[in-house]
Amino acid sequence: MDLKLKIWRQASQTDKGQFVDYDVQDISPDTSFLEMIDILNDKLVEKGDDPVAFDHDCREGICGMCSMFINGHPHGPESATTTCQLHMRKFKDGETIVIEPWRARPFPVIKDLIVDRSAFDEIIRAGGYISTSTGGVPDANAVPIRRENAELAMDAAACIGCGACVAACKNASAMLFVSAKISQFALLPQGKVEAKDRVKEMVAKMDELGFGNCTNTYACEAECPKEISITNIARLNRQFIGAKLG
């Protein structure tokens, strides 16, 4: 496959940045998207040019680092797939691929395709945890939990914090991320002790950091690589109202 790439290049957070055109040839359809960028970078380094900076870690769809906006979609055109698990067979020979970083005020560009997502870390520090005594591991049946609740909590905990929901939202809302992190505790007995403080503090921190409001366009759910459901947002809203009234 021969492809044309339009990649956002930005030297630093204060740099203006611009799209730069590149050509890559003889790319196998079985090559992953990040491997394709690796091939481009090898050629750039050989010519003495600065390689394209991008985030990556596990390359197994788990870490959430590979955050790229590809042809108008967070993580690219394939649903329920992170950028690192996207393969070039999803594109056509001769196609032009536009690659850029997340576009959201709380996620400033560090360099090229890398953005600072530490805002998510601040939200987690505000309340995304439980306080519990450490000790021996209890028996599996020591704390009775409804199967439905356990499965919903696990579904919410599948969120990898990549930020695709923010990138997809016209308001740069972080509601899907925050609601998933709240739901994974709210559905379990271990998370109920601090439930009211958790939801108030995490929502307050989200607002403080400049994330926008949710207007129910469902774009976050549609683009989430882990298919986190917006029913978590409804659960967050119920928890938040209850905490404020209670």
The average pLDDT across 210-217 equals 96
Are 24 and 127 part of one and the same domain? Answer: no
Number of independent structural domains in the chain: 2
Are 90 and 157 part of one and the same domain? Answer: no
pLDDT at residue 145 is higher than 80: yes
Query: Which domain CATH number covers 57?
Result: 3.10.20.30
Are 29 and 61 part of one and the same domain? Answer: yes
pLDDT digits (tens, 9 = 90+) for 83-92: 999 999 999 9
Are 8 and 106 part of one and the same domain? Answer: yes
The average pLDDT across 16-34 equals 97
Residue 137 in domain: no
Across the chain, what does the average pLDDT equal?
A: 95
Are 88 and 186 part of one and the same domain? Answer: no
* Domain around 239: 118-132+144-245
The average pLDDT across 229-244 equals 96
Are 122 and 241 part of one and the same domain? Answer: yes
Q: Within 10 A of 101 (CB to CB), how many other CB atoms are there?
A: 25
